[in-house]
Amino acid sequence: MEIKVLAPAKINLTLDVTGKRPDGYHDIMTIMQSVDLYDTITVTDNDSGQITVSCNYEGVPCDEKNICYKAAERFFIATRNEGQGVHIDIDKVIPTQAGLAGGSTDGAAVLMGLNKMFDAFLKPDELHEIAEKIGADVPFCLVGGTKYATGIGTKLQKMPNFLASHIVICKPDNVSVSTAEAYKKVDALNQEYRTFLNEGKTERECVKLAVKMAEEAGYRDLKEVIAKKETLKAGDKVYAVGMKKMISLFQIGKKPLEEGMAILGAHIDSPRLDIKQNPLYEEGGFAYLDTHYYGGIKKYQWTTIPLSLHGVIIKSNGEKIKIEGEGLLAQAIAHEIDHLEGILFIDKVIPGTLEYSTPEEQK
């Protein structure tokens, strides 16, 4: 018997990567849409007792690595029909390594073709269970349409039909991105961002880190340029820091300033509490921080949350002590007050951070 199944490509109308799982997969939120770009899968049974694959597209593996092979293998295990011989031919039109689910849709087509060929009468949820073990996009490719997908992409929710009469899909021959490599780049970007958040818990720390990154990118301190009485020319890159809480970066252009300039602004911020001078007090057996009440933060939310300390303590002899470390807020403040003779200025409290300032900075 020979059965042909059309395997439609899919596109992602939206895609958010929300996290990496312990099993190596990524949690996502995406809207998937099937489109009328098809591979044709031809399944033929035989007495060989083996699963074989052929494909007209160079570079597609035709062995047990092929997702069609895996789909057939999983199907026969689920239906207790192991040892059955089939040949799967893939007439591929969908470009590979293009995010169009070209492999996944072929695997889904194999499941549908085998279900019909061997009168397995597997229900949609049974096919879905098999599909999950083959690939993250395979369950969607079984049903198609417009779906909201979560988890690794296997939890599907029906959406209103996507109304678009025309969609242009462009895949240059010399541009290919594997799914694995794409996720590696996402992970690398996320790690860079997490590193920045960990190292830049306050405005001052963010600026300090920004200066480091700027200098690595070839920017020079504007104060140094001015001190050396140098003249800036087109292509020069400089930065200027203000009050240790803001930074401006400049790249000198070729045209005169009168013709305008391009400005990109960003606000340095972090979740925190702004607290008053001498904020620590006790009430009802609890230690509280007296805060400037804005942003919806209430004092009692912070009595049991572990915070780390980031800032400066000035001793009475003028010695400056930099504080960076983890610990419970009340314990840490009590320890520093008991062991250091001096003035403690507290600017801000953020989740994981308490920031102090020096007397000079308070003026």
**What whole-number distance in Å separates Cα of residue 153 and Cα of residue 88?**
26
**What whole-number distance in Å separates Cα of residue 41 and Cα of residue 92?**
8
Out of 137, 147, 201, 348, the active site residue is 137
Grouping H, G, I as helix, E, B as strand and the rest as coil, residue 55 is strand
Out of 10, 92, 147, 348, the active site residue is 10
Q: Which helix (H) or strand (E) holds 332?
A: helix 329-339
Grouping H, G, I as helix, E, B as strand and the rest as coil, residue 29 is strand
Please give the angle made by the CA atoms of 283, 289 and 293, to the nearest 5 degrees. Answer: 110
Phi, psi of 28 (to 5 degrees): -135, 165
Q: Are 63 and 69 in contact (CB under 8 A)?
A: yes
Q: Are 32 and 11 in contact (CB under 8 A)?
A: yes
Residue 10 appears among annotated catalytic residues: yes
Identity at 339, one-letter amino acid code: H
Q: Which parts of 164-202 fold into alpha helices (H)? A: 179-199
Residue 137 appears among annotated catalytic residues: yes
**What whole-number distance in Å separates Cα of residue 329 and Cα of residue 26?**
35
Q: Please report the DSSP string for 222-291 in residue order.
A: HHHHHHTT----TT-EEEEEETTTEEEEEE--SS-GGG-----------S-EEEEEEEEEEETTEEEEEE
Instruction: List the catalytic residues.
Output: 10, 137
